[in-house]
Amino acid sequence: MGKSEETMKTHVAVLPSPGIGHFIPLLELAKHLVINHNCLVSFLVITTEASAAQTQLLESPLLPVDLHVINLPPVDVFIQEDMLLTRLCVIVHENLVSIRAAIEQKRPDALVIDIFGTEAIDICDELSIPTYSFFTASANLLSFSLYLPTLDKEVDCEFRELPGPIHVPGCNPTRAEDLLDQVQDRKSNEYKWYLFHVSRLAMASGIFINSFYELEPVTLQALRENPFYKRIGTPPVHPVGPLVKEDEAMTETSAECLNWLDTQPTDSVLYISLGSGGTLTAEQMTELAHGLEMSKQRFIWVVRKPTDVSASDAFFTAGRGEDNPTMYLPEGFIRRTEGIGLVIQSWAPQVSVLRHPSTGGFLTHCGWNSILESVVHGVPMIAWPLYAEQRMNAAMLSKETRIAVKPGAVGPGKGLVGRKEIERVVRTVLEGEEGTAMRKRVRELKESAAKVLNCGGSSCQELSRVVDSWKRNRLKSTS
């Protein structure tokens, strides 16, 4: 493509914060802008403490030509505490000088950030560049996040000390114990950083949300129509999801998984993966193994080395090789489950596994990307939340959407999920009437997800309207 042709395209800069859970959806948005909306995208990559999994994504030969990866130089970051959100926010803050330089070097027509990149709004305001937030989690979390500054002013105690659930305007109530980790201690830096960023969402020109109406109808309607959100100055909310990873590199592990799945009956296999960053304790890993064995159901289990430190222990090391984690499984487990189960170390081709007709269930940590991938491929879930907002997601999936079953006692501070309970939920999803009903509902959502992303679908149209506004503004500025 010639230089003059390139300069005619609408130029969009996309800035994800670190972490594969933010990186993947913003990369998928960038691909859609290039492929479906004829944009030129500068994808700004914060390389400070980048995970191996993030680096591998950008090495894909399948990235479109007009998606230009711009690696920001790494910076030294000193963080006194090791809390996940604080670490993310400090890393982004320390990269602001490099972010400004990249934007000034090749001025975009718009900048798209995620929730932890709101400090870049100040830079773009100075340069008269519209900034859009891409909220990579659920509409449920977005509505709570927009309500949080009001809640912060009205409530003096910790939210978990409130006598009843949190009533977010226009939305279904949320139990305080299910709220995301970052708001459980209002004196912590985690809370202060989260409140800081969500308080600035109103400064954006618009908010993209990785969801769609059929998945979260009550919440998305509230965001559009409830007077509270208008009163606090919420910018237009654009549901553009589900944007999920559609391809992945094939490896020997991929071939092993898919070849094994090819030999299994339809809807018979439980896929078990706790995301890019999730880990179990050694004791919980043992109980999960025994529960799987007792269920006598087929499974693929992505096993990661256990830890008693933090459920998000692998967040910044996703994709990095590690010692053989299968040594932490009960003695003889792999031998006893041979032919019924397949144990994979650290990583599996999740999209390909969920897409396969033999996969009948997904035990997931309830990260939003994994949830959307499961919905897109019509797979019911066992909700096993570990950290961040995953308890909120699990509650929504099991109670509202009813496409997941949640084990009793699962979650930080809740104690151990025993092997008999694990056996029960595995059988429920793969054998029981409840599992059949969940499978029917999630496959209806699968059809809806395909429709909204097609040309003329609601998500495609939402993104088209915003891109058209960028193109009109570009024409005005050049005329």
Kindly indicate the confidence band of residue 413, based on its pLDDT and cuts at 50, 70 and 90: low
What pLDDT does 479 receive? 65
Candidates 37, 66, 109, 114; catalytic one = 114
Candidates 22, 37, 238, 356; catalytic one = 22
What pLDDT does 201 receive? 97
Lowest average pLDDT, out of 74-78, 240-244, 331-335, 391-395, goes to 74-78
Enter the CATH code of domain 6-245+454-478: 3.40.50.2000
Active site residue 247: no
Q: 78 pLDDT exceeds 90?
A: no
> What's the average model confidence in pLDDT over 276-282?
86
> What's the average model confidence in pLDDT over 120-145?
98
Kindly indicate the confidence band of residue 410, based on its pLDDT and cuts at 50, 70 and 90: low
Which conformational region is residue 6 in: left (phi greater than 0), alpha (psi within -120 to 50 degrees), or beta? Answer: alpha
Inter-residue contact 158 to 185 (CB < 8 Å): yes
The 10s digit of each residue's pLDDT in 163-209 is 999 999 999 999 999 999 999 999 999 999 999 999 999 999 999 99
Instruction: Name the maximum alpha-carbon separation found in the chain.
Output: 73
The residues, any chain, with a CB within 8 Å of residue 274's CB and separated by 6 or more, are: 280, 302, 304, 364, 365, 384, 386
| 6-245+454-478 and 252-449 have identical folds | yes
Q: How far is CA 139 from CA 168, 171, 211, 415, in A?
A: 12, 10, 7, 29
Q: What's the Rg (C-alpha) of the chain?
A: 22
Active site residue 114: yes
What pLDDT does 249 receive? 74
What pLDDT does 60 receive? 77
CA dist., res. 435 & res. 268, Å (int): 12
Kindly indicate the confidence band of residue 369, based on its pLDDT and cuts at 50, 70 and 90: very high
What CATH number matches the domain at 252-449, 3.10.105.10, 3.40.50.970, 1.10.10.10, 3.40.50.2000?
Answer: 3.40.50.2000
What percent of the chain clears pLDDT 90, i.e. is strictly above it? Answer: 80
Lowest average pLDDT, out of 76-80, 192-196, 342-346, goes to 76-80
Kindly indicate the confidence band of residue 250, based on its pLDDT and cuts at 50, 70 and 90: confident
For the chain, the domains span: 6-245+454-478, 252-449
CA dist., res. 479 & res. 475, Å (int): 6
Burial 415-426 (b: 16+ CB within 10 A, else e): eebbbebbbbbb
What pLDDT does 421 receive? 96
What pLDDT does 318 receive? 47
Three-state SS for the chain is CCHHHHHHCCEEEEECCCCHHHHHHHHHHHHHHHHCCCCEEEEEEECCCCCHHHHHHHCCCCCCCCEEEEEECCCCCCCCCCCHHHHHHHHHHHCHHHHHHHHHHCCCCEEEECHHHCCHHHHHHHCCCCEEEEECCCHHHHHHHHHHHHHHHHCCCCHHHCCCCECCCCCCCECHHHCCHHHCCCCCHHHHHHHHHHHCHHHCCEEEECCCCCCCHHHHHHHHHCHHHHHCCCCCEEECCCCCCCCCCCCHHHHHHHHHHHCCCCCCEEEEECCCCCCCCHHHHHHHHHHHHHHCCEEEEEECCCCCCCCCCCHHHCCCCCCCHHHHCCCCHHHHCECCEEEEECCCCHHHHHHCCCEEEEEECCCHHHHHHHHHCCCCEEECCCCCCHHHHHHHHHHHHCCEECCCCCCCCCCCCCHHHHHHHHHHHHCCHHHHHHHHHHHHHHHHHHHHHCCCCHHHHHHHHHHHHHHHHHHHHHC
Kindly indicate the confidence band of residue 42, based on its pLDDT and cuts at 50, 70 and 90: very high
